[in-house]
Structures are given as C-alpha cells and as structure tokens.
Copies of this chain bind each other. A is one copy, B any other.
Amino acid sequence: MKFGEYAKTFIPQINEAIKLLFQEKLKTVKNDFLVSYYTELRDYILSGGKRIRPLLSIGAFNSLNEDHNDKIINPSVGIELLHNASLIHDDIIDKDNFRRGEPSFHYRFQTYHQKHNLEKMQKVDFGNSIGIIGGDSMYFLGLEAYLSNNFADPLNLKAINYYHQAFIEIADGVLIETEMVNRNKVSLKEYIEMISLKTGALIEKALLIGASYANIDEKYKTYFSTYGINLGIIFQIVDDILGTFGDSKITGKPTDGDIREGKWTCLLIEALNNLEIDDRILLNSLIKKTNITNSDVSKVKKLFLKADVINSCKKQANKYYEEASDALKELSVVIKSSELEFFTDLLDFVTKREY
C-alpha cells in the first residue's frame, strides 16, 4: 500500500484516538481555566501534522500480522503526543510564535492573557509558564496510550520503556543542539549524531513500539532501528533545507528562524565546508551576530546558494536513503508486502517532500 493510501486509511482513526484521549481528560475537569487549557492542548495537536510516527507504529505492527488489527491504533498515538510535547517546549526555547501556520501553544496563552485582561503577570511570562506546563502535560498524556488499551501488561511495559528511551534521546539531542549554537565549528559527523537523537530516535521508537506489540523476533528489531534512524536523519536534512529555502506558505514556518538562531543545520555545515576562506569568515561572523538583521539573513542565504548547499545536503540525504533501503531489504523476509510498499514509499516521500 502506498504511503498516501496508508495515511488516508489510518489518519482519521489516529485523530479519533487523540480526540478520545483528551475527551476522557476533559470529562474529569471542572475548573474553567483547566477546560480552556486542555481544549487548547487538544486543538494544538489536532491542528495539523503528518502523523508519520503513529503511521509507523501501525505499519510496523501490521507488517507482522496476518490481518490488520485496530488494537494498535490507541497505543500508536503515544509517540505523537511525545513529539508534540517536545514541539511545545522547543517553540518556547526558540521563541517561535507560529507552527504549522497556527499559533504555537505558549503563544495561544499570550492571546488568552490579552483577551482576559490579566494584570498581575506579564503576557510573555504567562504564555511561557502555561507553555512549560503544557509540554509537561502532553508528555504525560502520551503515557496514557500505554496504560489503557487491549494489550497485555508486559507488552505495555516494553512500550513504556521505548517511550522513556525516546524522550531521553530527544532531550539529549536538543541539549546538544542548544549548546552547539555557541560553538565556532561543528563537523558533519557531530551534526548527524545530534539529529539521530533529536529526530531519529522518535521515528525509530515509533517503529519499535509497533513491532514489539506484534512480538517481533529480536534479530529483526535492528533492521527496524536502522530504517527508522536513517529515515529520521533524512527527514531532518530535508527539514533543514525547507526551513530556509522552503515555501513558508506551504511549510507554515518562517524561513529565517534557523539562521537567526545560529543553528547548526546541514546547510550551514556544508556551506562552511564548501566556501573559500573569505566567504567562510563572512558567513561565520553573520551567523554569530546576536542581533541579526533582515539584510544579514539575505546575505547568509546568498552564501548558502553560492556554496550549492541544497545539492550537497541532498547528496548527504541519499547516503542515508541507501542505508534505509538496505534495512528494508532485510526486513522483506518477515514483513508483509503491503507494508513493505508503505515503508518504501514513505522513504521516497520523506526524501522528496516539500512541506
């Protein structure tokens, strides 16, 4: 089954499972502010997203079962909540007020602050405070996916273990990224290690959760890991390209964030690798500015294009594409052809995506 078809089949069920999780929580809440809070949290996660992570859990589970089984839908959403939790906290850290063309979670509570004329606390502080707790809530609501479903205790504990590992690895990735901003040189190897944690881990764990609910044989797990981490690396490299050269109307994000924050993207690393010394010094000085202007951003983009970074990064992505493909070949012995097609097509989609 092609990725698009798989998505069309399962996304409505995934969104229903997410809705149900929040509905159950909202049933228990009486305080007016908490009702607004959990409603915003629900609307935030339902406002968009490609649902690739739950689709991967469902795909991995189905790939090892004779028939499709709806049991996997509820636990598949855990990792999606974990993903959204980390986005909520990232947007506070990066001071991004928009995500998927919609207000980011903490920014929604700046708006709430204005609407309700809250006086004692400042708008930005109020938004950030609710945002910090908002991410926390999303992490813990994600756990619920493994606490009430139709699988046996030991399988749920395994899933919680993966959930836990996924979080630790994302956090490590984000920490390394945050500290890296202050460095003057980062190698491609360090960058790949960082994004394997920041982006790869979650995609890998989504697959492993699905596969372990289907009692996968230990020896095949490693191929799901390899496929997942490499898919994640490609996803992030393409994200870097779209983050600066994408169409913000399609991606829903401004195209100057990474440059302003001085993030070590594939683009920046490859530009510093490809440019001559003078341009390299200029690029480094622009990126390190604490108050970067619009004209500085344009200059950085021009230097990126001069260094042909889009092609360099795509070439890098192709290396990981090969590794992911090889892992799929190994898996083809045990998984169903319909899901093999889904995994293969998803790999193509992620590599070629424009949003």
Q: Which residues of A contact B (CB under 8 A)?
A: 25, 29, 31, 33-34, 37, 89, 92-93, 95, 116, 118-122, 125-126, 128-130, 132-133, 135-137, 139-141, 143-144, 147, 153-154, 156-157, 160-161, 164, 167-168, 171-172, 174-176, 178-179, 181-182, 261-262, 288, 290
Whether B136 contacts A171 by the Cβ 8 Å rule is: yes
| Neighbouring B residues of A122 by C-beta, 8 Å | 290
A112 to B178, CA, bound (A): 13
Q: List 13 A-B contacts (CB under 8 A).
A: A33-B175, A34-B172, A89-B133, A93-B128, A116-B182, A121-B178, A126-B178, A133-B171, A133-B174, A136-B139, A136-B171, A144-B164, A153-B157
Q: Is the interface of A mostly helix, strand, loop or mixed?
A: helix
Whether B139 contacts A175 by the Cβ 8 Å rule is: no
A124 to B173, CA, bound (A): 21
Whether B168 contacts A119 by the Cβ 8 Å rule is: no
Q: How far is the CB of A124 from chain B (nearest CB, A)?
A: 12
Whether B178 contacts A164 by the Cβ 8 Å rule is: no
With A140-B167, A153-B154, A176-B33 in contact, is A132–B130 under 8 Å at CB?
no
Whether B137 contacts A168 by the Cβ 8 Å rule is: yes
Whether B135 contacts A178 by the Cβ 8 Å rule is: no
Across chains A and B, which 7 residue pairs bring their CB atoms closest together, nearest first?
Answer: A118-B182, A33-B179, A93-B129, A140-B167, A153-B153, A120-B262, A120-B181
| Neighbouring B residues of A121 by C-beta, 8 Å | 178, 181-182
Q: How far is the CB of A225 from chain B (nearest CB, A)?
A: 16
Whether A136 contacts B135 by the Cβ 8 Å rule is: yes
Among residues of B, the one whose C-beta sits closest to the C-beta of A190 is: B31
A4 to B161, CA, bound (A): 36
A181 to B116, CA, bound (A): 13
A172 to B174, CA, bound (A): 27
Q: Which of B31, B135, B157, B174 contacts A176 (CB 8 A)?
A: B31
Among residues of B, the one whose C-beta sits closest to the C-beta of A25 is: B168
Q: Which of B92, B116, B161 contacts A132 (CB 8 A)?
A: B92
With A132-B132, A175-B33, A178-B129 in contact, is A140–B120 under 8 Å at CB?
no
A34 to B168, CA, bound (A): 11
Whether B136 contacts A175 by the Cβ 8 Å rule is: no
Whether A161 contacts B147 by the Cβ 8 Å rule is: yes
Among residues of B, the one whose C-beta sits closest to the C-beta of A112 is: B179
The residue in A147, A181, A182 that gathers the most chain B C-beta atoms within 10 A of its C-beta is A182
Among residues of B, the one whose C-beta sits closest to the C-beta of A116 is: B182
Further contacts, 6 of them, CB under 8 A, given A119-B182, A121-B182, A137-B171: A31-B172, A33-B179, A120-B261, A120-B262, A133-B174, A140-B168
